[in-house]
Amino acid sequence: MKSVVIICLLLHALVTGRAQSTYFNKIYYTDTTSMLSVAGKVIQDTSYLVVGAYNSPLNHSSLYVRKLNAKGETVFLQSIYYGIHSINSFFGNSFIHTHDDNYLFVGQRGNTDTLDNFLAIKIDVQGNVIWEYNYGLPNTFDSNTQAVATLDGGYLLIGWTASLNASTGLLNYSQFYLVKIDSIGNKLWEKKIGSNAEPLHAEQTQDGGFILSGYKYSSATGYDMYVVKTDSLGNLQWQQTYGTEHNDNGGFVRELSNGHYILFGTISLDTELQDYYYIAELDENGTELWHELHEFNQYCGNNTVPYLETANNSAIAIMYHYTATSMRVIEFCRFSTIDGSIITRTPISSGLPGEDYIRDIEPTPDGGYLLVGFNYTSPAKSWVLKVDSLGHTCGPAPCDSVAYPLQITPPLIEGGQGGEQTMQAQIYPNPAKGSTTITCTLPPQLPFGVAELYNLQGEKVRYWVLQPSINPFRKEGITQNLDLEGIAPGMYVWRLALPGGYEQYEASGKMVVE
């Protein structure tokens, strides 16, 4: 009987036609400091800026900017603001491009437990501070700062404010708080709207005004989704709540190309503590035209502001829900903005214990997305992923990989530099039906490897985490079964994928599934 053994050592690609796409799933952390990342931006098509805040013991806090290369490796990490009490940033809309191709990073600067202000810092692509300002009202707590680049060349800062009650020492009810600044940070005007309300998102509308969305509490209906429309000067045009008589969740509103709005939120239809994901289209006056409900598990909601894909009438939302064992699961979901139906769902995870959060969705030039968030363990850890258009990435963190277009064929290399073999991998049997086996060796310092399988369109169809052998130096190699059930017959490319810096140990080859 004849058998086929594939031996390969170093993955190369001969690129013709469209460029390859690099995906990664990375965790960044310090020894004792909680480091959260909340927003990111694509720069120069092949690298990224990621921002967030970290807090160390004794209330020492800082905002930071991290530059990543295409594989998620840190190019530089720089603190850009430092404080003694507290400094925080919250969502992806806290970090925006400026009109002159720099960046505005906004957050909350704490002076005492009850006196915080908006903080706005303009930086360049290297993280150097161009200017910084604090904004707020006397004796107030001003929080959840977001930023919008406005059509007049300035910026709108949006968050909430609550005044300090001198007699009780407690904060009074919170209100939407709008601060309009010019291009160099000078305050032009400020407005307060609503009561017992907090904004989650703001954007400028086609008529030059603003649409603000979040949640509001009332004694009659508890928490509801809350939407506010203003003119270009922040004057109230209309306000509306959406929800039930039970406690519902906050909402995110995005403007559609026809001047209507799409609302994403969560409602409770009964007293059984059951949440339903809620999508609705609103007309220009906030009147609901239709809505769609989706049942996930007992509790569900949005992880961050949904991203609109106007070209195909869809939206990307990072959803969370809880399993029967109270495990928090997050998914990369695409919804139709025509009828609110679910198009695709893909689970994503940091692979760490504790709860995962995504705070920003940024489109990338290759049609994928940069997702920025954190794992909320103690201390908290920064978490950044590069995914494809369906939310797929390279596997459990830490990892990175390259998806190869149809025109790319990874050649087989029989030796390393100088003709010396650096690593051996075998797939047997090949062709295979139902399952096959991989045998390979790994650098001793790596806890695991990942075997990936791609179709000839460069799409990853499956991956397997390779468990380490008992021998810490793995001289005898790892041998593991690869389940092929459910994979359609045909030609595929397999790859042994490792973290960045270990490319010389990677391997690949062709495999036929019968």
Query: What is the CA 51 to chain-centroid distance, rounded?
Result: 12
**Cβ atoms 202, 146 nearer than 8 A:** yes
DSSP type of residue 55: E
Q: Which pLDDT does position 500 carry in this prediction?
A: 55
pTM, 2 dp: 0.76
| 252 touches 264 (CB < 8 A) | yes
Q: Looking at residue 57, what is its pLDDT?
A: 63
**What are the mean pLDDT values of the chain's consecutive 10-residue runs (514 residues total)?**
32 38 91 88 90 78 93 93 78 95 92 76 96 88 92 96 78 90 97 93 97 92 94 98 90 97 91 84 98 89 94 94 83 97 94 91 94 90 95 88 48 32 69 90 65 86 71 57 93 80 71 92
Instruction: Specify the residue for token string 């991290």.
Output: 66
Judged on CB neighbours under 10 Å (0-12, 13-18, 19+), 232 is middle
CA-nearest of 116, 52, 111, 44 to 80 is: 52
pLDDT of residue 420: 30
Report pLDDT for 259.
96
* Residue where the block lists tokens 């960044």: 28
| Phi and psi at residue 239, to the nearest 5° | -145, 150
Output the CATH code of domain 417-513.
2.60.40.3080
Contact 384, 70 (CB under 8 A): no
CB 357 within 8 Å of CB 37: no
Name which of 181, 199, 189, 39 is nearest 103 in CA terms.
Answer: 39
Contacts of 445 (CB under 8 A, 6+ apart): none
DSSP bridge pairs for 380: none
For residue 494, which phi and psi values (nearest 5 degrees)? Answer: -100, 155
What's the pLDDT score for residue 39? 97
Contact at 8 Å (CB) between 399 and 7?
no
